[in-house]
Structure 1
Amino acid sequence: MATSTVRTPAGAPARSMRADARRNYDRLLNEARASFAEHGTDASLEDVARQAGVGIGTLYRHFPNRQALMYAVFQEALAALLARSRELAEGDHPCHALVEWLGAVVTHTGEYRGVAQALMSATRDETSALARCNTPLREAGARLLARAQESGAVRAEVSIDDLMQLTNAIALAAEQAPDDPALADRLLALTLQGLKGPAAEQG
């Protein structure tokens, strides 16, 4: 039977997957995206499995828990954020690059209701699947922050851990106020006022 190579949702080394298992994996992931978009990340996993046309046991064989499924769903956004951080790191305006990237993090984190809260919780549990999202995001943000601090545009004492928690908090606040689509931008602007270093204040 034909096989394809995939990376497991928990980030384990790639393994071969039979064609029928690959189809089930893809169906589950597509249905999870749809369910999370409509109902948030607390959506029923039984409903996800049913909509994908498989049993709940099949879902758990691919995704051992809800966080593993959330991690797999968030992979596309994670890849986009990491790619954007690399592009921005090549620019001539380190502070603007940091600001733009933080805004992108807020946007992607708020795409599915419940992701922001889950990511905040994952910072306290390094064994969770979602912790594997935090690590590369933190490293990407740290590089952009360091450039902004070296330019004097951002205060030296600002930490990437604080910034990541702030972006999650902003995404969570925006999630609770769906009738105010500009809330995230306003909160991010207020946050950035407190980050300004000597060069930004003189400019």
Structure 2
Amino acid sequence: MSGAEERPLRADAARNRARLLDVATEVFTTRGVGVPTEEIARAAGVGVGTLFRHFPTKEALLEAVMVRRLEAIAAQTAQLAAEMEPAKAFFACFRLVIEQSAGKNEFTRALAAADVDAHTALRESSEAIQAQFAGLLDGAQQAGAVRPELGLPELIALLAGTSTTIEQLGADPAARQRIFDVVFDGLRPR
């Protein structure tokens, strides 16, 4: 086996890695990215050495959490698109992406501060979601549920802007719903 090939993780190592990612996702999302890695290891029930074997730096852990979150969003988006008619799938996926983006901007800033290019690290997952949204947008436009002049670049900008807006609102569900109502009304044809 060449040095470039990755060996599969043993079952216990794979469980530890998954548990670390689960805990890190929860902790970073609820308490911020400033939480020490030692606390994450302790909360996951592993030693700090185990954490660093899987993620040699805190930035590597943050990056892995972000990649995992984007992969989960892509899977959920694909499932919604397969289960719903195009217009409902479009709006459900828009909401899903915004709701699952909590903390993303803080993660990106933390990685940038450590000279890690988050956009490069997340390119593959981001491109998969963008491709899904291109199909969702086309389907919703053909169904007459979304303005026909809206293009994918504008949609991506709206997703980013809405995500930042929702993040600023905090946990006020009524205010969050008002933002979704305004954005969704603006997306619909006149």
Asked if TM exceeds 0.5, the reply is yes
SS of aligned partner of 2:47 = coil
SS of aligned partner of 1:17 = coil
* Per-residue deviation, residues 86-131 of structure 1 (Å, max 9, x unmatched): 222xx2xx33332222112222223xxx225557999x85421x33
Give the deviation of 1:25 after TM superposition: 0.9
TM-score by length of 1: 0.69
Give the deviation of 1:145 after TM superposition: 0.4
Select 2:66's aligned residue among 64, 70, 76: 70
TM-score by length of 2: 0.73
Contact preservation (8 Å) 1:71, 1:133: yes
Percentage of matched positions with identical amino acids: 31
Relative to structure 1, is the Cα distance of residues 116 and 165 closer, same or farther in structure 2, using a 3 angstrom cutoff?
farther
Q: How does 1:1-203 map onto structure 2 within 5 Å?
A: 15-52=7-44, 53-55=46-48, 58-63=50-55, 65=60, 66-88=62-84, 91=85, 94-110=86-102, 114-116=103-105, 118=107, 126-128=119-121, 130-197=122-189, 201=190
Relative to structure 1, is the Cα distance of residues 74 and 35 closer, same or farther in structure 2, using a 3 angstrom cutoff?
farther
Contact preservation (8 Å) 1:119, 1:168: no
27-36 or 134-143, which deviates more: 27-36
Relative to structure 1, is the Cα distance of residues 41 and 171 closer, same or farther in structure 2, using a 3 angstrom cutoff?
farther
Provide the rounded CA distance (Å) in 2 between the counterparts of 1:35 and 1:157: 41
Any unmatched runs of 5+ in structure 2?
none
SS of aligned partner of 1:154 = coil
Give the deviation of 1:186 after TM superposition: 1.7
SS of aligned partner of 1:182 = helix
SS of aligned partner of 1:98 = helix
Provide the rounded CA distance (Å) in 1 between the counterparts of 2:47 and 2:69: 18
Any unmatched runs of 5+ in structure 1?
1-12
Number of residue pairs matched by the alignment: 176
Relative to structure 1, is the Cα distance of residues 74 and 39 closer, same or farther in structure 2, using a 3 angstrom cutoff?
farther
SS of aligned partner of 1:155 = coil
SS of aligned partner of 1:194 = helix
SS of aligned partner of 1:28 = helix
Provide the rounded CA distance (Å) in 2 between the counterparts of 1:85 and 1:15: 34
* Per-residue deviation, residues 10-62 of structure 1 (Å, max 9, x unmatched): xxx9851113322321331232133124313443333212333222x543442
Matched residue type, 2:100: H
Structure 1 outlier segments of 4+, above 6 Å = 119-122
